[in-house]
Chains A and B, each alone.
Chain A
Amino acid sequence: MKRYNPIVLIAQVSPISAILGLFLIVPIATILIVSFWDYSEFMLLPDFVWTNYYDTLSSFVTYKTYLNTFKYTILTWFFTLLIGFPVSYFLCFHVRTLRWQIVLFLICTIPFWTSNIIRMISWIPFLGRNGVFNSMLISLGLTNEPLEFLLFSDFAIVLAFVHLYTLFMVVPIFNSMMRIDRSVLEAAIDAGANGWQVLTNIVIPLCKPGIAIGSIFVVTLVMGDYITVRMMGGGLRASVGVMMWNEISLLLYPPAAANAVVLLVVVLILVSLMMRVVDLKKEL
């Protein structure tokens, strides 16, 4: 076997090690350490106490908040998949030329050309009590009263999430779909499968990896979000992110850190469950 110069080896691995260390290991380690610290009204007290975890896990509010966050996550996941899958399907199987595929794909990314805050804010005049949508409904005579649930509600939060994250579902599913050999679909038709059977027996199973990757994106993004929930919920709705943000704004860093660690563990469990569906290594 060839012997490598250890200095060369270290030089080769050091850039990625430095990046991962600086931006992944150090922050997580800091959070982990701080989550065991004690605190008073004014200051953090380096210590090793379990009280932060105890407080977090024994509080009824935590569970309620997690439940609410799961609700947003599941609804967002469901709707992004419901929209993302047909969009990918259309792009992949109905758009015939590569040029149109690229054009339409770029159109899908247009929302990403602006910041997500702006994208959310732009919903407010549209959905508000005297907003565009309500005015339209009233002038069309479809309703007499403005619809209240449109803004600062669970509806608005999920709508904004779906708007923000559908593309994260489209891209991996599209990628999986493009890898399906067209002759495999023909072989299925040759074997007597109708359109629905081709979809359920061939296309969906072969898109599973894409669906799983998209789901991981959407679930992790929604689980950790606080800004969307705050803005679209009008400060009235809670999520795990909002809970942490509240603690931070009260300078309660150790409980916030403990909360973050719990969230991290929960998300990791969710991701590992989703990874079970699919052999990701095979896909990348």
Chain B
Amino acid sequence: MSDSKDVFLKQLVKQYGKTIAVNGINLDIPAGSYCCLVGPSGCGKTSTLRMISGHEEVTEGSISIGDQEINNVPPAKRGTAMMFQNYALFPHLNCLDNVAFSMKMKGMTKNERYTSARKYLELVHMETFERRFPAQLSGGQEQRVALARALVSRPNVLLLDEPLSALDPFLRIKMRAELKRFQRKLGISFIHVTHSQQEALALADFVVVMNEGIIEQVGTSQEVFNAPVNQFVAQFVGGHNVIVGEIIEIINKKEVMLKGGDGQSYRVPAQGSIGDQVIFTLRQDKISFKKENLADTNKLQENSLKGKISLIEYKGMEVSLGMEVPEFKEFGVVLSEKDFQMLSPELGKQYIASWSMEDVHVFQDLLFES
């Protein structure tokens, strides 16, 4: 098929009137990788994608594909192809003509373009639907046709704008796996915009977390999940409790003792001087959990806290619990189904959550949002 090429964004800015949608981002996307831009709505991810596709003008900075700067190259000449959010299939054309559209624009003969279009419909297993119109297809089928239409122009980079958001949850997971398979098979870069962190973590070779026009973190799914660089990323990726404490004791060069808002004490791997604030995250599934005994009432062990259970969400493989702890909105704990059965926690009862120091991740910038 076609070669994949690196994509470079340098100091990229997008401004709409006075609002800055993208605020000087730098990003290298190596050839042949699956890259997910993820963030809440209005974070600039879609603007970034649309600038790469050429449907939005670049305010400042540059976009290069391979060794060519493409700021002023028209969309069809960039070696990119776009898959639109609602697929944007041409409603008056059947699947075959939809896929063959770009070749028709180039002036290829009917035979040539239909032969080629059929090949791509076969690739996405839609060859039996070539006479159908978009309105006669299901969401998943529409998506496959849109994929075939995007791929037929042999792009170096495929751009996907929330491609799964129009599907129902079951199909979303199925099509997600399929997208990843296609990316592997074709070997070209996929740049995929999504607001779902699960989707990003599941798909991406590397995840780009954006917020308010800037990139907060770039890393593999594991890096982003296990070592979020700041509170925003930790909260956006989810599955973490963000805990704040003040240093009250320096244990050794690598460890300090913190005091929590409600008298808890946390031992964490961090450096600093007494009085400094430290923010760290704790994975919700790395917490051990037990019912409060009489013996525990007075003194709380280090690296633990207590609270009433305010929420139980049964999810099958695991169970999410919410604990009411004064300084947190909600302290989340994820138990395996087995542990849940063993403990059978009850709503409204006091429990103690504790963890070991190794499972704590301290943010690099200690004085974050002090």
Residue of A nearest to B97 (CB): A201
**At the interface, yes or no: B340 with Cβ under 8 Å from chain A?**
no
Q: Which residues of B contact A184 (CB under 8 A)?
A: 88-91
| A189 lies within 8 A of B86 (CB) | no
**At the interface, yes or no: B350 with Cβ under 8 Å from chain A?**
no
* Contact with A190, one of B82, B85, B86 (Cβ below 8 angstroms): B82
Stretch at the interface among A10-18, A72-80, A191-199, A254-262: A191-199
Whether A181 contacts B101 in the complex (CB less than 8 A), given A189-B55, A190-B81, comes out as: no
Q: Which residues of A contact B86 (CB under 8 A)?
A: 181, 183
Q: Which residues of A contact B104 (CB under 8 A)?
A: 201
Q: Which residues of B contact A188 (CB under 8 A)?
A: 90, 101, 105
Q: How large is the interface on B (under 10, 10 to 19, 20 to 34, 35 or more residues)?
A: 20 to 34
| B105 lies within 8 A of A187 (CB) | no
**At the interface, yes or no: A186 with Cβ under 8 Å from chain B?**
yes
Q: Which of A151-205 contact B (CB under 8 A)?
A: 181, 183-184, 186-194, 197, 201-202, 205
Q: Which residues of B contact A193 (CB under 8 A)?
A: 76, 101-102, 105
Q: Which of B76, B86, B149 has the most CB of A within 10 A?
A: B76
Q: How large is the interface on A (under 10, 10 to 19, 20 to 34, 35 or more residues)?
A: 10 to 19
Residue of A nearest to B146 (CB): A187
**At the interface, yes or no: A274 with Cβ under 8 Å from chain B?**
no
Q: Which of A184, A186, A190 has the most CB of B within 10 A?
A: A190
Whether A186 contacts B92 in the complex (CB less than 8 A), given A191-B149, A192-B153, A197-B105, comes out as: no
**Per-position contact with A for B116-153: 1 when CB-CB < 8 Å, else 0?**
00000000000000000000000000000000010001
Q: Which residues of A pack against B, CB within 8 Å?
A: 181, 183-184, 186-194, 197, 201-202, 205-206
List, sorted by A's number, 8 A–B pairs whose CB atoms are closer than 8 Å. Answer: A183-B85, A187-B89, A190-B75, A190-B82, A191-B101, A191-B102, A192-B76, A193-B101
Given A197-B105, A206-B92, 17 additional A-B pairs, CB 8 A: A183-B84, A183-B88, A184-B90, A186-B88, A187-B82, A187-B88, A187-B90, A188-B105, A190-B55, A190-B75, A191-B105, A191-B149, A192-B76, A192-B105, A192-B153, A193-B102, A202-B90
